[in-house]
Amino acid sequence: MALVAKGRLDEAERLFRRLNRSRWTNIWIKGHAARGLARIALFRGRYQEALGLEEWVLRLFSRDRRLRSRRRMIEYERVVTLVNLGRIPEARRGFDALPRILEGDYLRLLRSTTELYLALGEGEHRFDSAFLREQAEIALAISAARSQLMLLAWAQDQAGQPGTAAQLLEVARDRPGEAIVRKLYPRLAEWMDAR
């Protein structure tokens, strides 16, 4: 994953594939290698391939209760991938089926980001102003929350709050990770480009 973070995708992909093919690699490591391959596929815009890998990892991780939080992260990633593929009703059904129990701070942030991106895919949202304000406060405190801030800007724009949307966009643009957001959330990037 360090290679992926540095943008050295070819090297990372070779290592993940070797781990995934090995008969001697345990299931936990195979699952993480497949998740890494899914991440690489997302960065390369190969969303169908990523979806297949995400679904395989979900099946693999369903056998071990200790991996519930990892599984939930992948379930949220799967919803985002379905939105990227334009399979919005399926993404909505998948998201609505996920329970909210046993989620810590990171999973709650991931859930919120996923829910906002799904709403963007649907072209509308029903979030109240208190929720949007609370999520903005959380995202403003996290330097890596660029996508969350951008999605909140979209939601504020949709709610008729262009001033708040502009402020959130300004902060988001100063945060690192634009290339990553463009790859992982292409619909959000389209909205940004149109502004």
Residues sharing a CB contact under 8 Å with residue 73, sequence separation 6 or more, in sequence order: 107, 110
Whole-prediction pTM: 0.91
- What does the pLDDT read at residue 154? 97
Residue 159 has pLDDT above 90, yes or no: yes
How would residue 102 be classed by pLDDT, with cut points 50, 70 and 90?
A: low
Tens digits of residue pLDDT in 49-96 = 999 999 999 998 887 777 788 889 999 999 999 999 999 999 999 999
Residue 120 has pLDDT above 80, yes or no: yes
Please state, as a whole number, how many other Cβ atoms lie within 10 Å of the Cβ of residue 139: 25
Please state, as a whole number, how many other Cβ atoms lie within 10 Å of the Cβ of residue 109: 18
CA quadruple 179, 187, 114, 175: dihedral positive or negative?
Answer: positive
Residue 48's nearest CA partner among 10, 90, 81, 72 is 81
User: Which of 49-63, 93-107, 116-130, 173-187 is the least confident region?
Assistant: 93-107
Q: How far apart are alpha carbons 70 and 74 in whole angstroms?
A: 6
Residue 71's nearest CA partner among 56, 85, 57 is 57
How would residue 124 be classed by pLDDT, with cut points 50, 70 and 90?
A: very high
68 secondary structure, DSSP code: H
